Amino acid sequence: MSRYILAIETSCDETAASIIKDGTEIISNVVSSQIDSHKRFGGVVPEIASRHHVEQITIVIEECLIQAGMEPTDLAAVAVTEGPGLVGALLIGINAAKAFAFAHGLPLIPVHHIAGHIYANALVQPMEFPLLALVVSGGHTELVYMKEHGSFELIGETRDDAAGEAYDKVARVLNLPYPGGPHIDRLAHEAQEAVPFPRVWLEEDSYDFSFSGLKSAVINYKHNLDQRGEEIIPAQVAKGFQDSVVEVLTAKTVRAAREYSVKQVIAAGGVSANKGLRNALEEAFANEGIPFYVPPLKLCTDNAAMIGAAGFYMYEAGVKGNMSMNGKPGMEL
């Protein structure tokens, strides 16, 4: 018998709900984005995010059930993002999930947001283990090794800014709107020449990342030209920045895939929507002969379908939350 999971995601600036069948099939997927409200501040304002979630959460859950043509009695469980994320934002989703689960006598499944990003791939093709995931989003830059379902080993992470955070900050320097990632991506493809920015490799055997030095290099470059009264060429700066980020992310992912002899490599998170990064990873893993996948764009950025996919495997493994569940802003994988 098929099992349907209602999933809820409110860790940042998307209020999202989805119904997933057996961890692999999207029945309905509703995302209410708040990007327009945060744009003028150049980033997500936590208090504004919470207020939007409060206004949207019941509408989004109801819409999700209507689109699926389902009743709460058709569901097997409610999965919800427990962390990491903005605590006020997380709590809106968690409380909605608790209320729904309690009212309809359903089990509650707490899901890690990054596990969700990785499991977005299970909605597209079967996951093959051992697997390596490059998780790149506004809050994360991580290389995760998975031996099997539910097992996550963090082998590398950012020591300062997340890749998406660096994109958004550099976009601000270039006077591009928030979120800046897609704009830099577009501009980078318009330039022939790139401003030469450094590559930060850290220690020779490290799988960690660092992007704050690169961000500072962009800021200094603009500052120096400003002082000389010269104009920067935004597309060349964007290409220089993107080339540096993509080269380091790709090289470390390839090295890890070789060392851990993985059968599948996946990219996840908002920055995996980046065309330059996708192309570089696709080419590199075609050469390596290792299958590489990125979920479609709407499953790369925050959504609840991915939480439902991860939640299903946790449900199968018997993981359960309870009514004292709390938001975990710094939750470890």
Where does this chain bind ligand KG4 (CB under 6 A)? 12, 137-139, 164, 167-168, 179-182, 185, 269-271, 273-274, 301-302
Give the residue with the Cβ less far from ligand KG4, 35 or 66.
35
Residue position matching structure tokens 């469980």: 77
Residue position matching structure tokens 């290389």: 143
Start-to-end CA span in the chain (Å): 31
Q: Which of the choices ligand KG4, Zn ion, none does residue 295 contact, using the CB cut-off of 5 to 8 A by kind?
A: none
Give the residue with the Cβ less far from Zn ion, 269 or 276.
269
* Positions of E strands within 61-152: 77-83, 108-112, 131-136, 141-146
- Is 11 one of the annotated binding-site residues? no
Smallest distance, Å, CB 139 to Zn ion?
7
Lookup: tokens for 14: 């998307």
Identify which range of 16-24, 55-63, 129-137, 185-193 contacts Zn ion by CB under 5 A: 129-137
| Length, in residues, of the chain | 333
Give the residue with the Cβ less far from ligand KG4, 127 or 246.
246
- Is 136 one of the annotated binding-site residues? yes
Lookup: tokens for 305: 């379908």
Smallest distance, Å, CB 172 to ligand KG4?
11
- Is 195 one of the annotated binding-site residues? no
3-state secondary structure of 277: helix
- Is 138 one of the annotated binding-site residues? yes
Lookup: tokens for 71: 């009743």
Q: What type of residue is 4?
A: Y
Q: Which of the choices ligand KG4, Zn ion, none does residue 311 contact, using the CB cut-off of 5 to 8 A by kind?
A: none
3-state secondary structure of 203: coil
**For residue 293, how many C-alpha atoms fall within 13 Å in the half-sphere facing its CB?**
20
Burial of 239 (0-12, 13-18, 19+ CB in 10 A): buried
Q: Is 137 in the site for Zn ion (CB under 5 A)?
A: yes
Q: Which of the choices ligand KG4, Zn ion, none does residue 116 contact, using the CB cut-off of 5 to 8 A by kind?
A: none
Smallest distance, Å, CB 225 to ligand KG4?
24
Q: Which of the choices Zn ion, ligand KG4, none does residue 181 contact, using the CB cut-off of 5 to 8 A by kind?
A: ligand KG4
- Is 137 one of the annotated binding-site residues? yes
My answer on whether omega of the bond before 130 falls inside 30° of 0, hence cis, is: yes
Distance CA 16, CA 18 (A): 7
Q: Single out the residue of 8, 210, 302, 328 in contact with Zn ion (rule: CB under 5 A).
A: 302
- Phi, then psi, of 29 in degrees rounded to 5: -150, 105
Q: Which of the choices Zn ion, ligand KG4, none does residue 10 contact, using the CB cut-off of 5 to 8 A by kind?
A: none
Which residues are annotated binding-site positions for Fe cation? 113, 117, 302
List the binding residues for substrate. Answer: 135-139, 168, 181, 185, 274
- Give the residues lining the site for Zn ion (CB under 5 A): 137, 302
